[in-house]
């Protein structure tokens, strides 16, 4: 480019020199002037071209810089990728013992189980087992002191009917020589009396054990077996419900048998009655026949004998009717 421009400069210079020469020799010629003008025009063209060239150069430089930037970016990205990958592959994964047993379960199983055991693993709301929930866990000293601080804090904030009371309440808890007065004052204003807290909170003072209690163990199936063994019964194969069922079945069977026997006895009784009635009727018949055979002697009192006979007949007649019904 320099050469290109130099040529044009030279040409302009030459044209100018020759023009000046011709002017100094007083022989100016328009051709030389035209040459100069043409050279000058070419020079300005060349300058324009130079400008374009410079612009292009600048642009090329910009692009080169941009490329370098992008290259650096790509490089850093790739290196980051590489290091990340290395990190990922290098991360120690939790390795479960391959020899240990594994069990499959579903979330439904898990949730069902959690719901079932929750009453036995989580204390009911409000039951703290004596653990102070306002203190940070595993800090027994803080627990002890935290029990004291809320008392004074509440006593300070209690709205009192008159200013004097507020002043005395606020001053009393800070005085260690009067330990009785301050708690009394606070319990009157903030806490319910002891006999009422129980009515408000049914779980007041309740304790939660995360294991089966003694009374449950004592009333369980093992205890039943122990009692059976103590009573001399082998618990194996002995089922109280089964025994109960058998007893009931036996009682029913006995009742049924008794009913049958009852009916049988009743029937025999009736038969016996009927038999007796028949015998009596036969005896009465024989008597009647015998009295007929006695003849005139029996005629002396026909009314009395007839009444007697009628009476007996009535009695036997009733039985006869019974027999007929049978």
Partner 1 sequence: MSSENVAVPSPSAPPALPTDDEPKYGGHTRFELELEFVQSLGNPYYLNHLAARKLLSNPSFVAYLDYLQYWSRPPYLKYLTYPGPTLKNLQLLQTERFRQDIISPDLVNAMVQEGMRAAVEWHRET
What residue ranges bind partner 1 (CB under 8 A)? 97, 99-101, 103, 105, 109, 113, 116-117, 120-123, 127-131, 133, 136-137, 207-214, 217, 220-222, 224-225, 228, 235-242
Task: Report the alpha-carbon distance of residue 275 to residue 322 in Å, rounded.
Answer: 12
Quote the least distance from Cβ 250 to partner 1, whole Å. Answer: 18
Axis crossing angle, helix 2-24 with helix 30-90, rounded to the nearest 10: 160
Quote the least distance from Cβ 95 to partner 1, whole Å. Answer: 15
If the CB atoms of residues 55 and 129 are measured against partner 1, the closer one turns out to be 129
If the CB atoms of residues 5 and 142 are measured against partner 1, the closer one turns out to be 142
If the CB atoms of residues 123 and 183 are measured against partner 1, the closer one turns out to be 123
CB-based contacts of 121, cutoff 8 Å, min separation 6: 210
If the CB atoms of residues 105 and 107 are measured against partner 1, the closer one turns out to be 105
Exposed, middle or buried, 203 (CB in 10 Å: 0-12/13-18/19+)? middle
Quote the least distance from Cβ 249 to partner 1, whole Å. Answer: 17
Task: Report the alpha-carbon distance of residue 41 to residue 173 in Å, rounded.
Answer: 107
Task: Kindly compute the dihedral angle of the four CA atoms of residues 115, 116, 117, 120, in this order, to the nearest 10 degrees.
Answer: 110
Angle formed at CA 128 by CA 125 and CA 134, multiple of 5 degrees:
100
How many other CB atoms are there within 10 angstroms of residue 155's CB atom?
Answer: 21
Quote the least distance from Cβ 141 to partner 1, whole Å. Answer: 16
How many other CB atoms are there within 10 angstroms of residue 213's CB atom?
Answer: 10
If the CB atoms of residues 224 and 276 are measured against partner 1, the closer one turns out to be 224
Task: Report the alpha-carbon distance of residue 8 to residue 143 in Å, rounded.
Answer: 99
Quote the least distance from Cβ 107 to partner 1, whole Å. Answer: 14
Query: Is residue 29 a contact partner of residue 22, using CB atoms and an 8 Å limit?
Result: yes
If the CB atoms of residues 92 and 119 are measured against partner 1, the closer one turns out to be 119
Quote the least distance from Cβ 240 to partner 1, whole Å. Answer: 5
Six-digit token string for 304: 């009395």
If the CB atoms of residues 75 and 216 are measured against partner 1, the closer one turns out to be 216
| CA within 13 Å, CB half, 179 | 2
Quote the least distance from Cβ 226 to partner 1, whole Å. Answer: 9
């Amino acid at each position: 480019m320099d050469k290109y421009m130099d040529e044009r400069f030279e040409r302009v210079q030459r044209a100018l020199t020759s023009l000046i020469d011709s002017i100094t020799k007083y022989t100016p010629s328009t051709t030389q002037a035209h040459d100069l003008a043409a050279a000058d025009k070419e020079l300005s063209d060349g300058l324009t071209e130079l400008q374009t060239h410079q612009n292009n150069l600048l642009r090329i430089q910009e692009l080169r810089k941009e490329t370098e930037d992008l290259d650096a970016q790509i490089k850093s990205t790739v290196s980051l990728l590489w290091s990340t990958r290395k990190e990922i592959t290098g991360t120690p994964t939790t390795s479960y013992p391959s020899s240990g047993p594994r069990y499959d379960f579903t979330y439904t199983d898990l949730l069902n189980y959690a719901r079932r055991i929750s009453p036995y693993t989580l204390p009911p709301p409000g039951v703290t087992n004596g653990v102070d929930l306002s203190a940070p866990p595993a800090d027994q000293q803080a627990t002890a002191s935290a029990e004291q601080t809320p008392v004074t804090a509440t006593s300070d904030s209690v709205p009192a009917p008159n200013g004097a009371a507020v002043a005395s309440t606020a001053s009393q808890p800070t005085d260690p020589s009067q330990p009785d007065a301050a708690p009394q004052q606070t319990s009157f204003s903030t806490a319910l009396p002891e006999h009422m807290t129980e009515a408000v909170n049914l779980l007041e003072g309740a304790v939660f054990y995360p294991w089966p209690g003694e009374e449950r163990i004592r009333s369980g199936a093992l205890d039943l077996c122990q009692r059976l063994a103590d009573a001399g019964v082998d618990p194996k194969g002995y089922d109280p419900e089964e025994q109960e069922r058998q007893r009931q079945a036996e009682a029913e069977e006995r009742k049924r048998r008794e009913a049958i026997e009852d009916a049988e006895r009743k029937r025999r009784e009736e038969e016996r009655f009927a038999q007796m009635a028949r015998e009596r009727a036969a005896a009465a018949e024989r008597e009647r026949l015998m009295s007929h055979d006695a003849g005139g002697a029996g005629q002396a009192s026909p009314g009395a004998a007839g009444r007697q006979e009628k009476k007996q007949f009535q009695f036997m007649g009733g039985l006869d009717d019974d027999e007929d019904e049978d």
